[in-house]
Amino acid sequence: MLGNLTGWHLLVVLAVILLLFGAAKLPALAKSMGQSARVFKSEMKEMKRDDEVAAQSSESPRPTEPGTASTAAPEPRRSTDPTV
């Protein structure tokens, strides 16, 4: 599909981009694209780290220690409003 593109095609595409955005806005556009790429990359690393932590915690569940709070859900709060 894109195998037929030559250097001239790339030059024409770059010229069209330059005309559309203008020379003054291209550095800001490149900077924002770079920042977006960095944020995306850091989020992907964070997701991988979260997956590894979740996998490790599911492999070896932590035993409960005596004297600690139970894992049962707390009872719901009852209303003290006499009109209810």
Reduced 3-state DSSP string for 22-62: CCCCHHHHHHHHHHHHHHHHHHHHHHHHHHHHHHHHHHCCC
Whose tokens are 């569940």? That residue is: 61
Hey, what amino acid is at 34? G
* Inside any domain, residue 21: no
- Structural domain count, the chain: 1
pLDDT of residue 83: 67
**Rounded CA separation 35/30 (Å):** 9
The answer to whether residue 38 sits within a structural domain is yes
Cβ atoms of residues 18 and 26 within 8 Å? yes
- What pLDDT score was predicted for residue 41? 96
On whether residue 53 sits in a domain, the answer given is yes
Tell me which residues of the chain have a pLDDT lower than 70: 1-2, 60-79, 81-84
Let me know if residue 9 belongs to a domain: no
Residue 35 lies inside a defined structural domain of this protein: yes
Domain carrying residue 38:
26-57
Specify if 34 maps to a domain: yes
